[in-house]
Amino acid sequence: MIRQLLASLLILIAAGVAWLFLVPGAPETLARAGIVLPFGPAAETETARAPGGPGGGPGGPGGQRFGGARANNVVTTEVVMATINDTLSAIGEGTPARSVTVVAPAAGTLAEVLVRPGQTVEAGDVIARFEAEAEQIEFEQARLAAEDATATLERTSGLASSSLVAATALTAAELANANAQLALRNAELALERRTITSPIAGEVGLIRVTPGNYVPAQTAVTTVDDTSTIQIDFWVPERYAGQLNTGISVNVAAVALPGQSFTGDIAAIDNRIDPASRTMQVQAEIPNPDGVLRAGMSFAVSVAFPGEQYPAVNPLALLWSAEGSYVWAYQDGKAARVMAEIVQRNSDGVLVRADLEPGDAIITEGILQLSEGAAVTVLDGPGAGETQQAGQRPPAAPQS
């Protein structure tokens, strides 16, 4: 029983000593309660105030330097500004600027294919032809009928002007000529449909039909892709919706082309956000004059933004209290507590939301014994020159 009491007593004493030496401002708290220890800042302050004490008169070092209070030795670092959310990275898929599936306009036996996969064609170039003997005959018949109707109309018009034929005969000749011209146009259209042409300029894909086979109408023959410009579709988080605009420059890198990067602009932005993924679709256009980019490639997309700037502090400077995280700032020879909400941790510092400006001195060493308004001596870092200008010699080592 006695051993347990002694062990509990030792634990309480150890906890009290730890609180006294590790908690900032603990000696001052005891001093305000009327308990003055024979060591520590409060004891030194009382000694300095006593008559004949080392800091009791104008000639005492304490009175000249800090008004009788012990100065804490610290090391400071400078606050710098860091930028975050200045780059958006996404994965996108490439599509051609224009893509057309060429289909058979009519049914028939395929006679020949005049292009090969990968060949570049212009708009109107012939891709394939059907057998067209019957359609050619019908076209010739319609052409002859149209020529005969035109000649008949000319003769009838001449006779009508001489009043040799009735007006009804002239009307009938005009109607016959019009019908003959329509029949000629219909035969010409049927003949044109025996030839398959490319509607756009681009690169021919795989040929899906074989000459000699019967091809039904609307059968896919091949595809033609215009890859002079590659369009990349990618999705961005909702928080970037207010920062995106058409014309913003983007950089892309193709997975299939390591070491190469390409530049383009945002061409289109979707007018709504997907409620399931909370993302928005964006489309960028990348010039492809050399044709090295292909439709269907995957791309790593990077978009630069102005970003958000926050003060960056040394991780050693951060402390925590019941109110949250804070740092000690060096201001006019004293320590000042500044609340600092952590925004992001980086490899080179901690970004905080705090009332700090670039160049402010933040205490990183000797912070455990600090209290609000405590006098400090800067051994190294911003503010160290102030002690030397005042003709004071800084102590040899900082307190822990």
pLDDT computed for residue 107 by the predictor: 92
pTM (2 d.p.):
0.56
Q: How confident is the model at residue 102 (pLDDT cuts 50, 70, 90)?
A: very high
Report the C-alpha gap between 284 and 192 in whole angstroms: 38
135-167: per-residue pLDDT in tens?
999 999 999 999 999 999 888 888 877 776 777
> In terms of pLDDT, which residue wins out, 152 or 64?
152
Mean of the per-residue pLDDT values of the chain: 83
Whether residue 388 has pLDDT greater than 60? no
Nearest 5°: phi and psi at 342?
A: -75, 130
Averaged pLDDT, 47-73: 46
Q: How confident is the model at residue 83 (pLDDT cuts 50, 70, 90)?
A: confident
Whether residue 400 has pLDDT greater than 80? no
Whether residue 197 has pLDDT greater than 90? yes
Averaged pLDDT, 279-296: 92
Whether residue 177 has pLDDT greater than 50? yes
249-282: per-residue pLDDT in tens?
999 999 889 989 999 999 999 999 999 999 999 9
Q: Which of 13-27, 212-226, 346-360 has the lowest mean pLDDT?
A: 13-27
